[in-house]
Amino acid sequence: MITLEDWALIRRLAADGVPHKRIAEQLEISRTTVIKAVGSHEPPRYRRSAGPTSFTPFEARVRELLAETPGMPATVLAERVGWTGSIRWFRDNVKRVRTEGARIDPADRLSWSAGDAAQCDLWFPPCKMILEDGSRSLLPVLVMVPAFSRHMYGRMIPTRTSTDLLLGSWELLRQLGRVPRRLIWDNEPGIGRGKPTEAAAVFAGSLATKFVLLCPRDPESKGIVERRNGFFETSFMPGRTFTSPADFNAQFTEWLASANQRVVRTLKARPVDLLADDKAAMLALPPAVLHVGWHNQIRLGRDYYVRVDTNDYSVDPRAIGARVDVSADLETVKVRHGGRLIAVHQRRWARHMVVADPEHVAIAGTLRTAFQQPVTRPEAETMVRDLADYDRAFGLDRKEYQP
């Protein structure tokens, strides 16, 4: 077999008109080799002839096991089939067999029209946030990206519950100022699996939009927001520290304002320049959505606290025994009685906290002291009845008994 350099030299000499015999004599090779090199349009390459290997006796059994359990590790397969040779060689062959038996899942090129859709996802920054009680926790960031303009919106939220996800969505839509016709999610439990949760369906109906829940193994349909999550970790997170979730949201919002002015390579445009056309094709944003947030109506007990998520918040104890309305958003917890505001607290993101207003505690102490005092009743006036009344009642005349 000739080398690549000899092959190139033979073809050059033949192109210059040098006879095949002279080329063979000059390179000390046969004329047959020269003729094959001139007629070959591909460089010489070594091709190993197919034949049985040490893996061949085990291949059929490996294919059977992979048909039953496609994700079985190569080490387990080696143990099942009794392989005693090089595990690296075995892994290489198992990889080849897996590839040959894998189902084909082609990815389409998607195009997005203005106002059509926004992709939503949760991003978990690799940094634990300091909460009110001093504990640290990994908190989710709700990310929303209109697919046409690629303009990025994001906000850290306290939980992955349906209520907080919808509160976060409403907050981001308020920043956007319009409503995309579709909100695309994967199967996030707080939004729905297969179909939207009742709360998500009510939210979508109030906005006249639609939640689209993707099928499993369909990353391309939400690839825009997935790539933004990776972008945040490489471009926003390095070198930053945060004192609280509020500090994170402040820094993240400021950074997004500048990040949305960068040119997107696939669009060859800046998201901030495409946003106006995207919003023009979206739906109008209603002034409010009444069904969003934490809502509950309870009768206030002697323990004058109400629970939101896992935390307890104090209420004016003078409302004990009455029905009160409890509402909360991402920032504030409010309690009303008869339309009158009787308690306001900043919502805590830590877990299992007791939040007491000193004024409520003082009022409760006063009421408790008053309750423990004995009840004093005014003494009744002494009633003295005239004895003559009894005589007249029995028909007697007192004069008969007078001396």
Domain ranges in the chain are 4-39, 56-101, 117-284, 294-372
User: Could you give the angle at the alpha carbon of 284 between the alpha carbons of 280 and 287, nearest 5°?
Assistant: 140
Tokens of 258: 């500048």
What band does 352 get if pLDDT is binned at 50, 70 and 90?
A: very high
Distances (CA, A) of 82 to 63, 78, 79, 92, 163: 14, 6, 5, 17, 54
DSSP state of 122: E
Tokens of 79: 């143990």
**What is the pairing mode between strands 195-196 and 211-213?**
unpaired
CATH topology of domain 117-284: Nucleotidyltransferase; domain 5 (3.30.420)
Contact present, 203 and 190 (Cβ < 8 Å): no
- The mean of the pLDDT values for the chain is 90
Cβ burial of 403 (10 Å; 0-12, 13-18, 19+) is exposed
pTM above 0.85, yes or no: no
Cβ burial of 215 (10 Å; 0-12, 13-18, 19+) is exposed
pLDDT digits (tens, 9 = 90+) for 13-37: 888 888 998 888 888 889 888 888 8
Does residue 360 carry a pLDDT above 90?
A: yes
Contact present, 114 and 278 (Cβ < 8 Å): yes
pLDDT digits (tens, 9 = 90+) for 156-165: 999 999 999 9
The per-residue pLDDT for 401 is 47
